[in-house]
Amino acid sequence: MDDAIIRAVEELVSTPWVYLALYGLAALDAFFPVVPSESLVITLAVFAAAEGRPHPVLIVCAAAVGAFTGDHISYAIGRRAGARVFRRIRPGSRRQRVYDRVGLMLRRRGGLVIVVARYIPGGRTAATLTTGAVGYPRRSFTRYDAVAAVTWAVYSAGLGFLGGAVFRDEPVKGLLLGLGLALALTAGHEAVRALVVRRRGGEHAGPEA
């Protein structure tokens, strides 16, 4: 059964249409995050390392261009309909807190937020929508987002290449390793962020009277 699934996946990833699918999912994930596009980038990179196809450079290019396109769509949505988008967010919800935090960070750090948020599923949408909604300069956004999209594509593909290289004869294990590393890094980032927020909250609260 596993061999049949692997053969089916191998046939799918060997077609040129897989690059178009990757581009489309990376673009869609930027403003409508259903399935994190890292999953497809990692999967394709695992098979690129283990089987020699699809082409690794084309994986990175398709993912980067798709991410760049989707981020700009999200930015444009925020620019044109930011107020309406924010009104639909339930007050006090986790999503509301994410958008508020991103808005504050944009005012403080600008481009760094755009680059870092690209690595966080869901966070990238909050960052790009908020960036557009608060009127962040488009030229600056494009410059930082180009860096974000390319480095994110290289990073995601690198995790897949690592998994495929370690388990060259067992692509399923390579895929699990790549996805596991991605999840671990994301969880680690969130843990560090939560710790920093908690410490800052304690500092702002000050000692009790």
Exposure of 71 in the CB half-sphere (CA atoms within 13 A): 30
Distances (CA, A) of 179 to 161, 162, 176: 11, 11, 5
Q: How many residues does the chain have?
A: 209
Is the link from the previous residue into 54 a cis peptide, with omega within 30 of 0? yes
pLDDT, one tens digit per residue, over 5-33 is 556 555 666 677 889 988 998 999 888 87
Range of lowest pLDDT (44-48, 66-70, 108-112, 166-170):
166-170
Give the domain extent around 166. Answer: 2-205
pLDDT, one tens digit per residue, over 162-198 is 776 665 556 555 556 555 655 555 555 555 445 444 5
Domains in the chain, number: 1
Q: What is the pLDDT of residue 67?
A: 94
Instruction: Give the global pTM.
Output: 0.72
